[in-house]
């Protein structure tokens, strides 16, 4: 299939491009490079030995998005493009609502106009809000704790409403937990611009000496060691989950958690990194961040049963590849 991957130069997007190309699909990437690098596209080609098409555009620009659909016979869309920093979303809500929601509207409209009925949406476990763990797809979504999470909830609702009036439209809402790690080649990984918002690139930059120490936000949560607990998943497991969702896609709305089903605390992850890589990570405990919750991990039964997909890489592999 010809798959349009928005945000395909980004962290999860680039690894999914690798998985798609290795599964025999053709890939067209649209990315504005606001938090990614063009070099990543070249690395994807090197890893796979296959070519892909790249458009340097913003997917909120409807005319430019339509240009891609005119140039190529698109069979499906995987929509990653969006701002993703929880704390920044609290500080810049309008920027997040505009970018993340308008891009979903533009892509949905263009798919309907050009008869493209396969749509996979990059959602997030943040849609569950401060719910009881483990998070299950059938849960009622509570109010999220930040605008980033709200943009994912709104986009999910938009796509569900589109299906209501277009029953042939096939949508998979993939709710990610916490992707970390990198392709085993080391050629692509999570390389954010500026100071990282996510834990693993922060740890790796401390390990390399680019940052002095790791700040751990809060040690007074009701968890095993007081630090936040998350469901960390290897980014290649996550990428392979997208291919499984694409190949099993059928009309209607399908919602899947993509995680491991296991919770790991910030301190446990730091300790695993030190143990596996033989590098000490100096750290300091500071106050909680706005928008964070104590625990977040998945019930992954549905994805395993319906997609035949299961995360198989360990925390040790995640920190080694990172």
Could you give the CA distance from residue 149 to residue 176 in angstroms, rounded to a whole number? 12
Identify the weakest region by mean pLDDT among 17-26, 138-147, 216-225: 138-147
Among 55, 83, 128, 148, which one carries the catalytic annotation? Answer: 148
Read off the tokens for 39: 């070099």
Could you give the CA distance from residue 146 to residue 269 in angstroms, rounded to a whole number? 24
Mean pLDDT for the chain?
Answer: 95
Q: Average of pLDDT values for 111-134?
A: 94
* Structural domain boundaries in the chain: 2-181+233-259+300-312
Read off the tokens for 70: 């005119």
pLDDT class for 277, splitting at 50, 70, 90?
A: very high
Q: What residues does 229 pair with on adjacent strands?
A: 265, 295
Degrees (nearest 5) of the Cα angle 160, 161, 165? 115
Concerning whether 148 is annotated as a catalytic residue, the answer is: yes
Read off the tokens for 30: 């649209």
- pLDDT, one tens digit per residue, over 23-78 is 999 999 999 999 999 999 999 999 999 999 999 999 999 999 999 999 999 999 99
pLDDT class for 214, splitting at 50, 70, 90?
A: very high
pLDDT class for 293, splitting at 50, 70, 90?
A: confident
pTM, entire model: 0.94
pLDDT value, residue 191: 79
- pLDDT, one tens digit per residue, over 252-274 is 999 999 999 999 999 999 999 99
Backbone angles phi, psi at 81, to 5 degrees: -55, 130
Q: What residues does 3 pair with on adjacent strands?
A: 27, 76
pLDDT value, residue 43: 98
| CATH class for the region spanning 2-181+233-259+300-312 | alpha beta
Residue among 144, 135, 32 at smallest CA distance from 80? 32
In this prediction, what percent of the chain has a pLDDT beyond 90?
89
Whether the predicted pLDDT of 190 surpasses 80: yes
Degrees (nearest 5) of the Cα angle 310, 314, 315? 130
pLDDT class for 103, splitting at 50, 70, 90?
A: very high
pLDDT value, residue 61: 98
Whether the predicted pLDDT of 205 surpasses 90: yes
Question: Strand locations in 85-169, DSSP E?
Answer: 118-124
Whether the predicted pLDDT of 193 surpasses 80: no
């Amino acid at each position: 299939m010809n798959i349009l991957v928005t945000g395909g130069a980004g962290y999860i997007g680039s690894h999914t491009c690798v998985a798609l190309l290795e599964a025999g699909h053709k890939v067209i990437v649209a990315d504005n490079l606001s938090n990614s690098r063009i070099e990543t596209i070249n690395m994807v080609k090197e890893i796979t030995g296959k070519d892909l098409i790249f458009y340097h555009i913003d997917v909120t620009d409807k005319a430019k998005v339509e240009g891609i659909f005119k140039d190529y016979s698109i069979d499906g869309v995987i929509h990653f493009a969006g701002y993703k920093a929880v704390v920044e979303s609290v500080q810049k809500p309008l920027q997040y609502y505009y970018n993340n929601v308008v891009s979903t509207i533009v892509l949905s409209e263009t798919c309907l106009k050009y008869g493209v009925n396969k749509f996979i949406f990059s959602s997030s476990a943040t849609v569950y809000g401060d719910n009881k763990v483990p998070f299950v797809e059938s849960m009622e979504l509570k109010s999220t704790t930040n605008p980033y999470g709200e943009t994912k909830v709104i986009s999910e609702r938009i796509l569900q409403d589109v299906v209501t009036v277009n029953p042939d439209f096939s949508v998979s809402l993939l709710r990610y937990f916490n992707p970390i790690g990198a392709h085993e080649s080391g050629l692509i990984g999570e390389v954010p611009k500026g100071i990282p918002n996510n834990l693993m690139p922060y740890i790796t930059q401390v390990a390399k000496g680019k940052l002095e120490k790791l700040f751990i936000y809060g040690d007074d949560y009701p968890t095993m060691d007081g630090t936040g607990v998350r469901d960390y998943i290897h980014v290649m497991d996550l990428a392979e989950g997208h291919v499984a969702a694409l190949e099993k896609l059928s009309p209607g709305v399908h919602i899947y958690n993509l995680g491991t089903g296991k919770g790991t605390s910030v301190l446990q992850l730091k300790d695993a990194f030190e143990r596996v890589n033989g590098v000490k990570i100096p750290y300091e405990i500071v106050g909680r961040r706005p928008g964070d919750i104590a625990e977040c991990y998945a019930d992954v039964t549905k994805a395993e049963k319906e997609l035949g997909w299961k995360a198989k890489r360990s925390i040790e592999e995640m920190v080694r590849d990172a």
